[in-house]
Amino acid sequence: MSRTTQTISLAKRFYVPRTIGLSLGFPAVFVSLPGPHAPPSMLALLVLYCFAWPHLAYQLARRNSRPVSVERRNMLVDTFAAGFFAGAIGFNPIPSAAIVTMPCMNNMAMGGPRFMMAGVLASASGGALAYALFRTPFDIAMGTLQVAACTPLLVLYPLSLGYVCYLGAVKLQRQKQQLSEMSRTDYLTGLANRAALNDILDTSFSAPNASLENSVIALIDADGFKRINDRYGHIAGDRALQKISDIMRACVRKQDTVGRYGGDEFCVILRDVTTAEAAAVLERMRALAQQSIDEDGGEQRSTLSIGAAMYSAAALNGAMWIQRADEAMYDAKRAGRNKVVFAAWSAAGRPSERPLRHPGYTT
């Protein structure tokens, strides 16, 4: 979202409750004005504030590069005006409490207790100014008309504010979810990253009802990838990795997982498959990568060396399972690359002692 779009969105978020609140506040103040003795200027200020100020405040916020600062200033104007009109009606208890409390709620939501106290001081200043200008006598009498005029403000405005807060919470949750997804996604290929793969494996081994039977893990290395980077540049290398990721996506099902393990290595987890079915999927990946090389002359593409391991109870954790696939991939590269090699667990149920290579290893 661009900065301009964010600015307009923020301005709109405050525009709606301000418009509703002041529209509802108008009758609450109007019926409490000191009758025929109210100065025409007082009524004119009330009309301008309730029906013109929301639109002016919106324009001030949407046209400024710092909408949050502008809205904080607008909210202080709201609290000042609320105090001013409370003084203009002689601080009549119910209307005054209604029109002063609502903007203070906004201030609390916007900046916490400290900003709310700034609003309280602004309201007190507004009330003092109104008393100095109009000298409206204190009025504690409450009529039925005043109660009826204040009720919509007391009921509907908190509901509208609550709805705006709900929309903000939904947006925040959506952004939090997007950030979580981004932290588990490889930026270049859009595949799961290594952290996500490790979480999947940890969950699979620790969840009480999880079953890894008939599952295969494969590590896939892009052969000669360093040559592409050195000869054609990193942009060409990135395109090669994206092409490989597209090939792998096209070969798996929804229940399978494809991820970038690191550098030019990828990881695939196939679920509910036999060894023959897994071999067919991985061989198709290898063949499609080879086909892409044949189509463009082989200059900016890599073949795939694939090492795979069927799940075995001998794999006590995800690291042991990956290590077995890693060793099989190393065997595929030693055998000439561009091959699919399946690992066999030893009779003792343990993988060989060859250490796990660092992700991104290239030859």
pLDDT tens for 194-226 read 999 999 998 888 876 667 889 999 999 999 888
The answer to the question of residue 356 being in a domain is no
- Residue 202's CATH number: 3.30.70.270
- Give me the pLDDT at residue 219, please: 96
Does residue 10 sit in the same domain as residue 155?
yes
Does residue 174 sit in the same domain as residue 63?
yes
- Give me the pLDDT at residue 276, please: 94
- Give me the pLDDT at residue 8, please: 64
Q: With H, G, I as helix, E, B as strand and everything else as coil, classify residue 306.
A: strand
CB 55 within 8 A of CB 90: no
The overall longest dimension of the chain from CA atoms, in Å, is 103
129 vs 226: CA distance, rounded Å:
75
347 pLDDT more than 70: no
16 vs 25: CA distance, rounded Å:
14
The answer to the question of residue 357 being in a domain is no
Out of 28-32, 152-156, 254-258, 275-279, pick the least confident.
152-156
Does residue 170 sit in the same domain as residue 226?
no
- Give me the pLDDT at residue 295, please: 61
The answer to the question of residue 221 being in a domain is yes
Q: With H, G, I as helix, E, B as strand and everything else as coil, classify residue 263.
A: coil
Angle at CA of residue 82, ends 132 and 117, nearest 5°: 100
Split at pLDDT 50, 70, 90, the class of 110 is confident
34 pLDDT more than 50: yes
170 vs 7: CA distance, rounded Å:
18
Give φ, ψ of 220 to 5 degrees. Answer: -125, 125
Mean pLDDT, rounded, for 319-342: 94
158 vs 101: CA distance, rounded Å:
10
Tell me the per-residue pLDDT of 35-55, one tens digit each, with 9 for 90 and over.
766 788 888 999 999 999 999
Does residue 198 sit in the same domain as residue 173?
no
Number of domains the chain contains: 2
Q: Tell me which residue range forms the domain holding 256.
A: 194-342
175 Cα distance to chain centroid: 1
Does residue 55 sit in the same domain as residue 114?
yes
15 pLDDT more than 90: no
Domain boundary among 182, 210, 232: 182
The answer to the question of residue 239 being in a domain is yes
Unique residue bearing structure tokens 């405050």: 14
Does residue 150 sit in the same domain as residue 289?
no
**What is the b/e burial string over 90-113, where b = at least 16 CB atoms within 10 angstroms of the residue's CB?**
bbbebbbebbbebbbbbbebbbee
Count of beta carbons in the 10 Å neighbourhood of residue 224: 20
Does residue 333 sit in the same domain as residue 220?
yes
The answer to the question of residue 187 being in a domain is no
The answer to the question of residue 347 being in a domain is no
Split at pLDDT 50, 70, 90, the class of 155 is confident
Does residue 235 sit in the same domain as residue 116?
no
Domain boundary among 182, 209, 238: 182
- Percentage of residues in the chain having pLDDT higher than 90: 48
Does residue 176 sit in the same domain as residue 283?
no
Mean pLDDT rounded to a whole number for the chain = 85
Closest CA to 363 of 323, 335, 333: 333
Domain boundary among 156, 182, 208: 182
The answer to the question of residue 360 being in a domain is no
Does residue 32 sit in the same domain as residue 99?
yes
Mean pLDDT, rounded, for 142-159: 83
- Give me the pLDDT at residue 298, please: 54
- Give me the pLDDT at residue 212, please: 85
358 pLDDT more than 80: no
Does residue 116 sit in the same domain as residue 92?
yes
Tell me the per-residue pLDDT of 251-299, one tens digit each, with 9 for 90 and over.
999 999 999 998 899 999 999 999 999 999 999 999 999 988 766 655 6
Does residue 15 sit in the same domain as residue 160?
yes
The answer to the question of residue 98 being in a domain is yes
Unique residue bearing structure tokens 């008309």: 145
- Does pTM surpass 0.85? no
